[in-house]
């Protein structure tokens, strides 16, 4: 499984998520999106998932805080208990032995982040 993890502000737009997704995903064949469980119904994320025809995997707070991330955002650490919601969501949803293939990218408006992980089973 190849998962694009997304972290974003509640004020992020569909354009923010779309642009950062394109930047992070590159030529990887992403099979799912993932984010913090309390953000799965955000309209911008729902729109992106519909456009890409991808499922959204909710990631629990416990899973987010357990993941080891390359990026270390102080804001993310303070608000979510992880260095990068995007990286943690991607790693958690991609499954055991997942690894990042595209670390955190930040949208131009700085309202969204995206990282891509591949599961150890693929």
Q: What is the pLDDT of residue 94?
A: 94
Q: What are the sequence ranges of the domains in the chain? A: 2-118
Task: Give the separation between CA 41 and CA 114, rounded to whole angstroms.
Answer: 17
Q: What is the pLDDT of residue 122?
A: 45
Q: Give 2-118's CATH code, choosing from 3.30.300.90, 2.60.40.10, 3.30.420.180, 1.10.274.100.
A: 3.30.420.180
Task: Give the separation between CA 42 and CA 29, rounded to whole angstroms.
Answer: 23
Average confidence (pLDDT) per 10 residues, the chain, 122 residues: 95 95 92 95 96 96 87 84 90 92 94 93 53
Q: Taking the mean position of all CA atoms in its chain, how far away is CA 61? A: 14
Task: Give the separation between CA 19 and CA 21, rounded to whole angstroms.
Answer: 5
């Amino acid at each position: 499984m190849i998962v694009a993890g997304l972290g974003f502000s509640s004020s992020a737009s569909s354009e923010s998520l779309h642009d950062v997704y394109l930047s992070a995903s590159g030529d990887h064949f992403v099979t799912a999106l993932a984010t913090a469980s309390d953000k799965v119904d955000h309209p911008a994320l729902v729109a992106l998932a519909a456009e890409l025809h991808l499922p959204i995997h909710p990631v629990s707070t416990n899973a987010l805080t357990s993941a080891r991330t390359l990026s270390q955002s102080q804001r993310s650490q303070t608000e979510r208990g992880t260095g990068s919601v995007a990286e943690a969501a991607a790693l958690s949803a991609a499954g055991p032995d997942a690894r990042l293939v595209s670390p955190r990218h930040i949208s131009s408006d700085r309202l969204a982040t995206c990282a891509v992980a591949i599961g150890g089973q693929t």
